[in-house]
């Protein structure tokens, strides 16, 4: 199952989220126009079944208006987190590696954790 960003429902939802937030980027600490609405937990990280669609795709808690620059930074950060998670999982299965030396796995499906990490990262590098 895939998500249709061209659907009427998504266009209405995106418009509503940006309008409710004054058309401003909520990732940046500065005032930028929100050009897009980001799924905080990326849909590629969850199964797109009807239950997950309601939990992630159209859930206001998982949607945040943002500028293109912040969206790009967030996308790159999430790629790095996924890569680090995969490396940690690989090391954890190796008998010589001690678990306490591993970086923690970040739950990329937890809206509050991902939002906090992304906002902190974006505001730190800008």
Q: What length does the chain have?
A: 126
Q: What is the dihedral of CA 88, 90, 94, 96, to 10 degrees?
A: -30
From CA 40, how far away is CA 22, in angstroms rounded? 19
The pLDDT tens digits of the residues spanning 76-89 come to 999 999 888 877 76
Q: First CA to last CA across the chain, in angstroms?
A: 36
Q: Which two tokens stand for residue 39?
A: 């799924």
Reported as a single tens digit per residue, the pLDDT across 82-116 is 888 877 766 655 554 444 555 677 888 899 999 99
Kindly list the domain boundaries of the chain, sorted by start residue.
8-125
Side-chain half-sphere CA neighbours of 43 within 13 A: 20
């Amino acid at each position: 199952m895939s998500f249709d960003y061209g659907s009427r429902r998504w266009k209405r939802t995106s418009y509503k989220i940006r309008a409710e937030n004054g058309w401003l980027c909520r990732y940046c600490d500065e005032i930028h126009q929100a050009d897009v609405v980001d799924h905080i937990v990326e849909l590629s990280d969850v199964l797109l079944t009807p239950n997950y669609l309601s939990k992630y795709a159209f859930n206001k808690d998982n949607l945040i208006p943002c500028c293109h620059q912040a969206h790009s930074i967030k996308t790159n950060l999430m790629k790095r987190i996924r890569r680090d998670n995969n490396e940690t999982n690989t090391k954890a299965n190796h008998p010589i590696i001690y678990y306490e030396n591993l970086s923690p796995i970040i739950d990329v499906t937890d809206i509050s954790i991902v939002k906090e990490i992304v906002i902190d990262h974006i505001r730190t590098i800008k």
